[in-house]
A and B are shown apart, each in its own frame.
Chain A
Amino acid sequence: MIIKNITIENFQSYFAPQTIEFSSGLNLIIGNGGKGKSKLFNAFYWVLFGQIYITELGWHNTNGFPHNVKFQMKRHEFINRKALYETPVDDEVRTVVHLEIENDKGIIYEIERSVSAKRLKNNDWLADDAWIVSNSMLKVTYDSHTGTKIQTDLLAEDTIKDLFPEGIRNYIWFQGESLDSLINFRDKNTLKEAVKHISYFPLYQKAADIIIKSTEQIKKLENTELNKKNKSNSEITALLAKQASLSYDIEAEEKNRDSIEIRIRMVELAMTEDEGKVSGLANFTKLVSDFEKCESDRKEVMHQLTILDDYQRNQVPNLWILRGISSMIEDCANIIKQHTDIQDTVPEKKYLDNPGRHKLEEILKDEKCFVCGTEVLEGSDAHKWIVTRLKEQELYLQEMEDYTSNLEFSKQFERFIGSIQDYPNSLQISLSSIDKQYTDSENSIEKHQAQKRKILEKKKKLDEDIEEVKKKHGVNPVQQVNEGEKFTNNIRASRSILEKEQRKLASSLELIKNKKDDLKKVEKDLEKSGRKTGSTTVAETEWKNISIFLEDICKRVKENARKDLLKKIEERANQFYQKFTEHDNGYKGEVKINDDYSIDFDSGLNMSHEDRKKMSIINAMLSLNQEALNTYYPFISDAPTSSFDFVTTHNYLLGIKDIFGQSIIMTKDIDTESDIYVDLINQPKVSKIYMLESNLYCEEGSTPQLHEVSTHIKQLK
């Protein structure tokens, strides 16, 4: 079977009709996060099964939205937002996905699912009550020998079920996120389930079931016929009655035995789970103590940062005020200094003596010097000098008078200055001190931030380790550190139940054995009686004997086929695993599958290797199944390789293209600029390559709203 094309219109991120053509071989869809890979995967699943995948919630039918209080996806939310946005009030928008499939006989199936939504409101167009959304309508069209068939609803669903049986879906429509639930090294039931769904073994199981059930039925038929034939022979009828009664008892006891065995398996499973958890908790005490230390360090750093932050919040206003007035403080200090200088200066005693004022006035009056008799006429240099000296003396005397008269005020001012002159300095000291404290707090914050970064880095690593423990042992060592005792008690209780159930099983097996011995004895007695009377053989006897003979054979063939299949899966998974890991130089281990469906867990490997092993097993099973049943399904996978690097992804794709008749892989782990990409596109069986990009309907540079982005499909090969 191959998928020929898909047309998506107004579904999730796909606006307007867009078609992707597929061929046999590898079809690759490349796209970074958010470009529409998962939406394309959803489109495939929705058109066939009416469901979309929601992270951490799994597959959900879109007719049932919203499912519960926790999960509030609105009914119109899977319809493209641009299409919704552009629909006028009272008008309808239609979402359609159309798929064309060709089965192995060459019959083309056209499968189409659609919904329509009517807009009720102009404003608040994303509100619950803004839309009336119809249930999805399914239509399947194909040509049969009686002409073209068009099916809808349940008939159409039945056709899809025939095309893609329910059990196989999760393995061929592969979601990377669900890998653990498909193959889990801790849970052997996952491989058992996989064998049930994607292998030929169920046919062997079915053959054994048919013959076991038919033999029981034939025995009853034979008994009825023999009773009829021997109505008058009391010895034989008594033996036949005993035979019927014993057969009935054996059948009932076998049912009882089966239910005991189921209970034992369940208890064993629970016990293995609890033992794994206990061993997980015991083995990771250091991890837990490291985590707790890291968490306490983180809390302490956060506490310190909060204190520092509070301190800064309190100090910032003070600092702002002080910084704002610091220039004024400086001005004040200068003013005080200036006034201090002024009040300290007593006018200098100048030019009062030798000659004194009186003598100088006498010279001017007499116009000659009283010492030497030299003439001092007006306009002469001597006259000018005396006038200047007299002015200076006058000025000094005035200053002195002022000084003397202001002395009291000056003393008061001095006292005032004396009382305030230290204030600016004190304020400056406070300012510097607060400034220093603030700078210290800044440094401290930086130091704590560095510590925080270190701790968070360490925590991230520890979180990853814890995640790994959770995956490997099914236990969260940090959250469940105190539950060790609870698990130990569970194990103790399980052991006690197990012992009880095993005793019941032993006694049931003993009872069955005894009844079967009795039955054999009765059958021998019947044979003897038959030899005597010739009436203990009917046509059914031969059917019964052949069936009993074959039942025994088929049980052995079934068990051999089961073991042989597990060996083949192991062998082929190792071939794939070798291919996926051929570029790794370190320890890679190997896939080891045991007869009881358990898969050896290798603690020396990292998650990427584990995932590669799991995918190798799934691929091995699918390829073996294809070969055995000659039925080819397309393998469709969304993000199958999230834990792989580019080279591993490349090897994975090379493997995939050879295993499946058609594969459609959606991935982000391809670098279209790299050499390995060039190698990939030139490989045979690499049919089509598409790139998913974004169409933006807003102005360049602005952040688009969700209704302004849609997926654009670009064909690269």
Chain B
Amino acid sequence: MAIQDEMYKLIEIEINETLKNGKEKRTVDIQKAKDVARMLASLSTDKSEAENLINQYIANIKNICNV
């Protein structure tokens, strides 16, 4: 399994666990949150530094939320 898929899997498990325990910090659309998580995992494998990926993250989350 590719590292980003592995990472997403772990985030998804944590999301489900958090929801199950009612410990979420914000109430959000879970499907959208998972899509953002997948996008984030993919971004983390980019060669650029985190600082340089902020704009890409914002552009991507905008797309996910506007769908």
Contacts and interface: CB of A to CB of B under 8 A. Distances in A.
Interface of A: 200, 203-204, 206-207, 209-211, 213-214, 217-218, 221, 539, 542-543, 545-550, 552-554, 556-557, 560-561, 628-630
B54 A203 contact: no
Contacts of B45: 203
Contacts of A200: 3
19 contacts: A200-B3, A203-B4, A207-B41, A209-B50, A210-B50, A210-B57, A214-B61, A539-B65, A542-B29, A542-B32, A542-B65, A543-B62, A545-B26, A546-B61, A547-B61, A550-B36, A554-B40, A557-B10, A630-B3
A546 B24 CA distance: 10
B43 A210 contact: yes
Interface of B: 2-4, 6-7, 10-11, 14-15, 18, 24-29, 32-33, 36-37, 40-41, 43-45, 50-51, 53-54, 57-58, 61-62, 65-66
A203 B14 contact: no
A204 B27 CA distance: 24
Contact of B10 (A543, A547, A561, A628): A561
A546 B36 contact: yes
A548 B58 contact: no
Contact of B28 (A210, A221, A545, A560): A545
Contact of B58 (A543, A561, A628): A543
Contacts of B10: 557, 560-561
- Which 6 pairs from chain A and chain B are nearest by CB? A209-B50, A207-B44, A545-B26, A214-B57, A549-B26, A206-B44
Contacts of B40: 207, 210-211, 550, 554
A292 B28 CA distance: 72
Contacts of B26: 545-546, 548-549
Contacts of A543: 58, 61-62, 65
A207 B43 contact: yes
Contacts of B11: 550, 553-554, 557
Contacts, number: 97
A552 B25 contact: yes
B33 to A, nearest CB: 5
Given A561-B10, A629-B3, A549 B50 contact: no
Contact of A203 (B3, B25, B32, B37): B3
Contact of B14 (A210, A211, A556): A556
Given A543-B61, A546-B33, A557-B14, A213 B54 contact: yes
A552 B18 CA distance: 10
Given A207-B44, A210-B43, A549 B25 contact: yes
Nearest to A552: B25
A630 B24 CA distance: 34
B65 A210 contact: no
Contacts of A209: 50
Nearest to B65: A542
A213 B50 contact: yes
Nearest to A539: B65
Given A210-B57, A557-B10, A630-B2, A203 B44 contact: yes
A547 B43 CA distance: 14
A204 B33 contact: no
Contacts of A211: 40, 57
Question: Which residue, A209, A547, A553, A554, has most C-beta atoms of chain B within 10 A?
Answer: A553
Contacts of A561: 7, 10
A125 to B, nearest CB: 48
A673 B29 CA distance: 70
Contacts of A628: 3, 6
A549 B53 contact: no
A628 B15 CA distance: 23
A415 B57 CA distance: 127
Contacts of A214: 54, 57-58, 61
A598 B5 CA distance: 30
Contact of B7 (A217, A539, A557): A557
A4 to B, nearest CB: 25
Given A206-B44, A207-B7, A554-B40, A213 B32 contact: no
A159 B50 CA distance: 22
Q: Which of B33, B57, B66 has the most CB of A within 10 A?
A: B57
Given A539-B66, A550-B33, A557-B10, 16 more contacts: A210-B40, A210-B44, A211-B40, A211-B57, A543-B61, A545-B28, A546-B28, A547-B61, A549-B24, A549-B26, A549-B28, A549-B33, A553-B14, A560-B10, A628-B3, A630-B2
Among B10, B41, B45: residue with most chain A CB under 10 A = B10
A553 B44 contact: no
Contacts of A546: 26, 28-29, 32-33, 36, 61, 65
Best-surrounded residue of A200, A207, A221, A543 (most CB of chain B within 10 A): A207
A553 B23 CA distance: 10
Nearest to B51: A213
Nearest to A218: B58
